[in-house]
Each structure stands twice: as structure tokens, then as C-alpha cells.
Chain A
């Protein structure tokens, strides 16, 4: 079967750095996506990785290791508005997204 694993919840302090991990087992791989979802809102796109390595967008970075079936999202200089759920999704061989359950990130002052 296909499986995406993420921690259910994490807590971090404002101004700090946090790493959210995602491991996956899917039938085929055509890229890995990270989305942010604030409570009661729609998911919004954060990043996309298809090759091993780092993608950076401002305070957010994502890293992929295809050989390990692993990715992580790194959030720097945390702000209160970063409190949200972070969803990892893998595009499988049929070009359909398989979604993790999401990691709820709580930021404390």
C-alpha cells in the first residue's frame, strides 16, 4: 500500500527553527509537495521537490532524499502566523497526490 508518515503535532518557540519530517512509501514517485493549512482554511502550496536536494523559499526550505524515501520542511525565524498544519504529499506513478495526515505546528511566544 501507499503510505505517508508525518508527526501528528509539534511545538516550537517564536523565533526558533523547526524541522517537520515526512517519510513515504508510494508506487512510483513524481515529486513531493509541502502545503500549509491554517485551521478552517484551504491548503496552500509551499514547495515542490523532485530531485534530491534543497529548495529554499524565504524562511521555508524543503529537502528531499529519494533513496531514503524522506523529506523535511525547515521553518526558520518562526512567527506566530506559522501556527498551522503542514501537509506532505507525494505524486505517485499515476500522477495522483497521496497525502499525509499533516503535522499541526503550535508556536509559543
Chain B
């Protein structure tokens, strides 16, 4: 049982390049989330999904797109990377959306945009 995995672990992009971050979970969780973590700030929600085929915007969705084609996978895309998107990106999942559901996090992707 691997839990939540993310690929890649590190990436350096040039401004304007595109990339996709992959999150996978093997816990049969319905809900999945993408956060970014920046120094001195709390985790900020980018997009989330409440089930296969559904996505919704979080607090900071601009510049990102997501897809949830398969229940176990949640993809985060950057179409045209900007230096402001330099951050650590965490994926998380929960069984459902109730208040008692713990979020399980992946190990993170460290992205630098030059």
C-alpha cells in the first residue's frame, strides 16, 4: 500500500514551458486535492476533485488546470509556467469530504521556474 505518490519529485522549468504533475493514490479515496506551499504561508488549495470526472477551483486556481479521468489519479497541469509558480506542490486525498476525514499527503514536488 503506497498511499499517495507524486511524480516527479523535482523539476526545473523555463518561463513559458508546460508540464504535468501526477498524483496517484491506492486507498480508493474519493476526494483529491492539489496544494502549493510557499515560505511563510500556509498551504493553499489550487484545485480539488470530489470524485472521478469532477474538478473544482480552490483558492489559487489561476495558471493551473487539472483532470481526474481515473479515480486513483489527479493531474495538475501548468500550461505556461511563470516564476511565481515556483513552489512545493502537495497532493492529498481523503475518503470523503466530511469533517472527520484525515487528509493523506504525497511527498511533494519541488518546482522551480526560471
Contact = CB atoms under 8 A, between A and B. Distances in A.
User: Majority SS of interface residues in chain B?
Assistant: loop
A50 B100 CA distance: 9
Interface string A81-109: 00000010101000111111110000000
A42 B105 contact: yes
Nearest to A48: B100
A29 B103 CA distance: 17
Contacts of A97: 43, 45, 103
A97 to B, nearest CB: 7
A95 B97 contact: yes
Instruction: Give chain B's interface residue range (CB within 8 Å of chain A).
Output: 20 to 34
B44 A99 contact: yes
B90 A43 contact: yes
Contact of B107 (A30, A42, A87, A96): A42
Interface of A: 4, 8, 30-31, 33, 40-45, 48, 50, 87, 89, 91, 95-102
Given A45-B104, A100-B42, 10 more contacts: A31-B100, A41-B108, A42-B107, A43-B43, A43-B90, A89-B43, A95-B98, A97-B103, A99-B42, A101-B41
